[in-house]
Structure 1
Amino acid sequence: MLGRVTLRGRVMLAYGLLALGLSTVLSIVTWTVVSDYLVQQREAAAETITADNGAALRYGLFGPPEPCRPSHERVECETPTLQPGVSVMEVMNSLPSTDAAATMLYLQDRWYAMTGKPSDLPPDLIQGAISGKVVQRRIEVGGQPVLAVGVPIGRQGDAFFEWHPLSSLDDTLQRMKITLIAAAIATALVGLAVGRLASTLALRPLAELTRVADAVARGKLDARLPAGNDKDLGGLARSFNQTAADLERRVAADARFAGDVSHELRTPLMTMLNSMQLIQNHRAELPAAVREPVELLGDDLDRFRRLVIDLLEISRDDGGDRGSREIVRIADLVRAAADAAAGREVTVVAPDAEALTLQADKRRLERVIANLVENAEDHAGGCKGVGVEAGGLGVVITVDDAGPGIGAEDRSRVFERFGRGETSGRGRGVGLGLAIVARHVQWHHGTILVTDRPGGGARFVVELPAKIS
């Protein structure tokens, strides 16, 4: 799965995960510390309020505490008794108002309650307070969370109870939790944004390397990387530039060699072609056994002529021939080149394409159209038509043939040098015509592809960046 993620995506993901991890740890620590502090503060406040109310209740019920006196090496304290005429409910009603949701008193084995039900108190909490301990417990009453607190009020077996609502505390903790989660998510998003920015800056040299390498792969061998002063990338740039320079020199040398050989072959080739023409003119005078070998030799000489011409064309491109650009009317050029190559009218120009023009090398563009039409005539049952219409990059030129079509696995290979589809047959071609077409279309910043023609056959589609003059 990670292998499918781009390098930029990995950097962004690393930054995002790092930010998410740090924010998560910080959120957990903050939540733990703050929530524990708030809970402890709330419990301490509730216990203090309940103890104060218990002390006030004890004073109202029993009066001031009697001083203890020593007796026989121990201290004796008198058990407090209720003051005469004191109403327990009135004393409980006179307690200062607090946030307590309920107050209850267990006195002399009897319950007194202003609000709340003693049955809602846990038995162990009641038992702990009656035995003289200060106890507290978080419970739910009526579906609401409360903190129940019990304190003794001076006599063994008597205790005072209150419970304090925790809804506001729980709401505060819930809001803090949501805030921390949102902050963690926001931090992760910021980390992704920072990771994208960092990856853009860090991978900029790699993007430049990719661009230059792609240019070299497309035949622009003079493309170079700026070396700069970066100690980490300077060596890579210099090594790449040296490799590209060596490749450029090698290709130029090979192109010169092919051009020189082709030029040297032209003279003997013309001699052989003229001699063959002379022999064919006197074909009727030849013995019958010699006529078929002469015809085969003539076909091979014609293929040899095409090979020399194509090699000269390719060596011219590989040798750095930049050509000359001029404004041409595409409809007129295609019509003339296609009809001449087919020997008949095969071109149909859409009305919206009549005025389209292009900065082009006429020789190269004419060669593109002628090669496509000759390919259809020689190898694909004949040219069914050439179309010119506006669209794509500017103008779309289609060349249809009547052949069996080209399989999907061969559609890219037919544009390679000496690449021929399985249905090409022997014919007169040498496998360089479509390679020249692809080079010349690329030289014009266009595209070429092969599709199926409606009704059968192949359709070559050329798109060029044309505009209306």
Structure 2
Amino acid sequence: MLAYGLLALGLSTVLAIVTWSVVSDYLTSQRTSSAVVVTSDNAAALRYGLFGPPQPCRPARERAECGSPTLLPGVQAMDVLNSLPSTDAAASMLYLEDHWYSLTGQPSDLPPDLIQTALAGSVVQRRIAVNGQPVLAVGVPIGRQGEAFFEWHPLESLDNTLRTLKITLIVAAIATALIGLAVGRLASTLALRPLAELTRVADAVARGKLDARLEAENDPHLGGLARSFNQTAADLERRVAVDARFAGDVSHELRTPLMTMLNSMQLIQNHRAELPSVVREPVELLGDDLDRFRRLVIDLLEISRDDGGDRGSREIVRIADLVRAAGDATAGREVTTVEPDAEGLILQADKRRLERVIANLVENAEDHAGGCKGVGVEAGGLGVIITVDDAGPGIAVEDRSRIFERFGRGETSGRGRGVGLGLAIVARHVQWHHGTIQVTDRPGGGARFIVELPAKIS
């Protein structure tokens, strides 16, 4: 697009310069020639009125009289000046027998060298300014040495014409450049449309829509690329489906022995007082690990459900009530604060997924970050903003994107415990609701998780 625009601008600029040079020179030359012809005609009429018709030259000793005409008896120079035909000349002046005669204009406005050239017998013209107005001064000899006729002709009309021409050419050059940009944009859009489609589909695949495909397999230029891309996307979709099915199958298979172990551990803990002191601590450690194992299985089932294409079900949810119930229940105490402007906000949501988002964030704060300091709900952002604050050491900037990856743990934030799936599930569920999640520092210390969802007033 830029190349088209620059090319159009360059060509239009060259054309404008050439047009300006040719037309301005032509108009100026025509105006100058016209002024010289008019002044010369008036000088001839003036010469005829002052000296009469030219006398034929006499031979021999009277030949010198041919170049030195004499004034007609009783002729007044001013009367002859007044008898000249009307022209566009703004001033007419005559220098005759060492005297100036003028109808309009002042001889002092004429350049001295222009006067001397005309008095010497040469036709001369020059652009000058009189009272701030541009004029063309013309001097024509009238037949006797040291005498000449002068006129000046206004150039304002010529200057206005040239100014209009200049503005027109500049506007035309700019318009041509804009048209070039538009044509370049159209051409680039048409040329890059297949690549734009490829970018769109690749972005969709990157965001988890693995069934996205290119429709350009029959394109003579991009057919091979489209077929290769579609094959790769199909293989990736099958691989992800197989992995999700494997994780789901393994998780389901683990549920039965896990429940047996948990029930057995509960029975052992119920008789903890009867155990020898040397085995009590290993039993407690085993209980903690069994609880982590239980959470891992539950998280794997949740992940495999999403990877397996579970579309869920959307229903109208009052966000304040859902967050208050999920947050307080997970923390075991009242931790949720809802601003008045957020009480009436609703969202088309999967209730199970949204409850899991709140529960995982509060559980993460309770188990790995010194406790949940509060859950807030307020209107803003995409519609509603949900914040979860903890009392931990905070999360380093370099870890803030890594913690939302599967099995991702912040290496510098002190959150080493946990299986690393809870926040990944949160990110997936928030994305499923077309929302965003980020983590920042909490005022006063700790971390603050911020979830934005596209809610509206009921």
Same fold (TM over 0.5): yes
Structure 1 contact 396–463 (Cα < 8 Å) conserved = yes
Structure 1 contact 383–399 (Cα < 8 Å) conserved = yes
- Supply the RMSD in Å over aligned alpha carbons: 3.3
Query: C-alpha displacement at 1:267, in angstroms?
Result: 4.3
Structure 2 contact 217–227 (Cα < 8 Å) conserved = no
More off after superposition, 253-262 vs 212-221: 253-262
- The answer to whether residue 111 in structure 2 is matched with residue 122 in structure 1 is yes
Instruction: Report the Cα distance in structure 2 between the residues aligned to 1:285 and 1:182, rounded to whole angstroms.
Output: 98
| Cα deviation 1:227-251 (Å, max 9, x = unaligned) | 2754344444333322222221222
Kindly tell me: are residues 343 and 123 of structure 1, through their superposed partners in 2, closer, same or farther at Cα, counting changes over 3 Å? closer
SS of the equivalent of 2:370 reads coil
Kindly tell me: are residues 87 and 338 of structure 1, through their superposed partners in 2, closer, same or farther at Cα, counting changes over 3 Å? closer
Aligned twin of 2:374:
385
Kindly tell me: are residues 317 and 148 of structure 1, through their superposed partners in 2, closer, same or farther at Cα, counting changes over 3 Å? same
Instruction: Report the Cα distance in structure 2 between the residues aligned to 1:167 and 1:325, rounded to whole angstroms.
Output: 77
| Cα deviation 1:103-135 (Å, max 9, x = unaligned) | 233334444434434444334333333333222
SS of the equivalent of 2:434 reads coil
Aligned twin of 2:16:
27
Aligned twin of 1:262:
251
Query: C-alpha displacement at 1:394, in angstroms?
Result: 4.5
Alignment of 1:12-411 (within 5 A): 13-68=2-57, 77=66, 79-199=68-188, 202-227=191-216, 229-284=218-273, 286-349=275-338, 357-389=346-378, 391-411=380-400
Structure 2 contact 67–143 (Cα < 8 Å) conserved = no
- TM-score (structure 1 length as normaliser): 0.84
Structure 1 contact 352–389 (Cα < 8 Å) conserved = yes
Give the counterpart letter for 2:355 in structure 1: E
Structure 1 contact 401–459 (Cα < 8 Å) conserved = yes
Instruction: Report the Cα distance in structure 1 between the residues aligned to 2:92 and 2:222, rounded to whole angstroms.
Output: 78
SS of the equivalent of 1:313 reads helix
| Cα deviation 1:171-221 (Å, max 9, x = unaligned) | 222232233323333443444455555555555544443332222222111
SS of the equivalent of 2:115 reads helix
| Cα deviation 1:405-448 (Å, max 9, x = unaligned) | 33444333221112223334444x11110101111122222322
More off after superposition, 329-338 vs 43-52: 329-338
SS of the equivalent of 1:82 reads coil
Structure 2 contact 117–124 (Cα < 8 Å) conserved = yes
Kindly tell me: are residues 125 and 217 of structure 1, through their superposed partners in 2, closer, same or farther at Cα, counting changes over 3 Å? same
Instruction: Report the Cα distance in structure 2 between the residues aligned to 1:107 and 1:229, rounded to whole angstroms.
Output: 94
Kindly tell me: are residues 444 and 425 of structure 1, through their superposed partners in 2, closer, same or farther at Cα, counting changes over 3 Å? closer
Give the counterpart letter for 1:79 in structure 2: S
| Cα deviation 1:41-73 (Å, max 9, x = unaligned) | 11111111111111111112221112235669x
SS of the equivalent of 2:374 reads strand
Kindly tell me: are residues 97 and 376 of structure 1, through their superposed partners in 2, closer, same or farther at Cα, counting changes over 3 Å? same
| Cα deviation 1:227-284 (Å, max 9, x = unaligned) | 2754344444333322222221222222233333334444444454445445545545
Structure 1 contact 70–76 (Cα < 8 Å) conserved = no
Instruction: Report the Cα distance in structure 2 between the residues aligned to 1:347 and 1:89, rounded to whole angstroms.
Output: 108
Kindly tell me: are residues 389 and 82 of structure 1, through their superposed partners in 2, closer, same or farther at Cα, counting changes over 3 Å? closer
More off after superposition, 234-243 vs 158-167: 234-243
Instruction: Report the Cα distance in structure 2 between the residues aligned to 1:171 and 1:290, rounded to whole angstroms.
Output: 107
Instruction: Report the Cα distance in structure 2 between the residues aligned to 1:249 and 1:146, rounded to whole angstroms.
Output: 87
Aligned twin of 2:451:
462
SS of the equivalent of 1:138 reads strand
Structure 1: runs of 5+ lacking an equivalent = 1-10
Structure 1 contact 446–463 (Cα < 8 Å) conserved = yes
Give the counterpart letter for 1:32 in structure 2: S
Kindly tell me: are residues 334 and 166 of structure 1, through their superposed partners in 2, closer, same or farther at Cα, counting changes over 3 Å? closer
Kindly tell me: are residues 359 and 62 of structure 1, through their superposed partners in 2, closer, same or farther at Cα, counting changes over 3 Å? closer
- TM-score (structure 2 length as normaliser): 0.86
Kindly tell me: are residues 157 and 191 of structure 1, through their superposed partners in 2, closer, same or farther at Cα, counting changes over 3 Å? same
Structure 1 contact 66–78 (Cα < 8 Å) conserved = no
Instruction: Report the Cα distance in structure 2 between the residues aligned to 1:24 and 1:15, rounded to whole angstroms.
Output: 14
Instruction: Report the Cα distance in structure 1 between the residues aligned to 2:67 and 2:197, rounded to whole angstroms.
Output: 96
- The answer to whether residue 413 in structure 2 is matched with residue 423 in structure 1 is yes
Aligned twin of 1:442:
431
Identity, in percent, stands at: 85
Aligned twin of 1:8:
none
Aligned twin of 1:5:
none
Kindly tell me: are residues 131 and 352 of structure 1, through their superposed partners in 2, closer, same or farther at Cα, counting changes over 3 Å? closer
Give the counterpart letter for 1:179 in structure 2: T
* Count of residues in correspondence between the two structures: 456
Give the counterpart letter for 1:154 in structure 2: G
SS of the equivalent of 2:122 reads coil
Kindly tell me: are residues 440 and 130 of structure 1, through their superposed partners in 2, closer, same or farther at Cα, counting changes over 3 Å? same
| Cα deviation 1:355-402 (Å, max 9, x = unaligned) | 655443333233222211211110122223334455544444333333
Kindly tell me: are residues 216 and 161 of structure 1, through their superposed partners in 2, closer, same or farther at Cα, counting changes over 3 Å? same
Instruction: Report the Cα distance in structure 2 between the residues aligned to 1:53 and 1:153, rounded to whole angstroms.
Output: 10
- The answer to whether residue 398 in structure 2 is matched with residue 414 in structure 1 is no
